[in-house]
Amino acid sequence: MALTVTVCGCHTGSEQDSSVLSGIPRAAEDLSSGEAAFDFELKTLGGETRRLSDFRGKVVLLNFWATWCSPCLEEMPALEELQSKFSTDEFVVVSIAVDAEKEIVESYVKEKQLKLVVLHDPTMKSIPKYKVDGFPESIFVDKEGKLLAVSDPISRETSVRILSDRPWANSDYAALVRQLINGGPA
């Protein structure tokens, strides 16, 4: 049990078997920039059904997280701060909580007074589609609903998937989002 929490709760950087995340099968190939993002259908904490396509015309930062993942909890206020720097007409953080129990997510969101879009995916059905390795993990989607490879301002790595937590409130991330909104290279 402790091994499962370690593998799922963070990125260790070791060469562990990434074909399974807590029993969820993963695809053999990684995500590619420019491919259409999977148009999931998940519920908000209030019970409203939302699809990724509901956000078409905006740059979207998908953030996969769980309340049992301490790096996830550490980055949530920074994601909130990043969102506050932009109009939700042009940029939206869509956080996808994979906790089994919705009440735990609701309690955390209420306690931290988060205003982010929070969707609940208790069966982790979006995990194989986005090839998530662990939590937190983030993915940018462009205004047309396509995956974006970005150069991470901290690691300088260019990838579709941003692994592990990031200091999203850092001005370099706001500059990255501004570039994406303006259609510039990331």
What digits encode the pLDDT tens for the residues 68-120?
999 999 999 999 999 999 999 999 999 999 999 999 999 999 999 999 999 99
Q: What is the largest CA-CA distance in the chain?
A: 45
d(CA 83, CA 94): 10
Q: Which residue has the higher pLDDT, 128 or 4?
A: 128
| 3-class SS of residue 61 | strand
- Would you give the distance in Å from CA 8 to the centre of its chain? 14
Nearest of 66, 36, 38 to residue 52 by alpha carbon? 38
CATH architecture of 35-181: 3-Layer(aba) Sandwich (3.40)
Which residues in 154-168 are b (16+ Cβ under 10 Å) and which e?
Answer: eeeeebbbbbbbbeb
Look up the pTM and report it. 0.84
**Residue 24 has what pLDDT?**
39
pLDDT in tens, 21-59: 444 333 345 788 989 999 999 999 999 999 999 999 999
pLDDT in tens, 147-168: 999 999 988 889 999 988 999 9
Q: In angstroms, rounded to a whole number, what is the distance separating the alpha carbons of residues 172 and 178?
A: 10
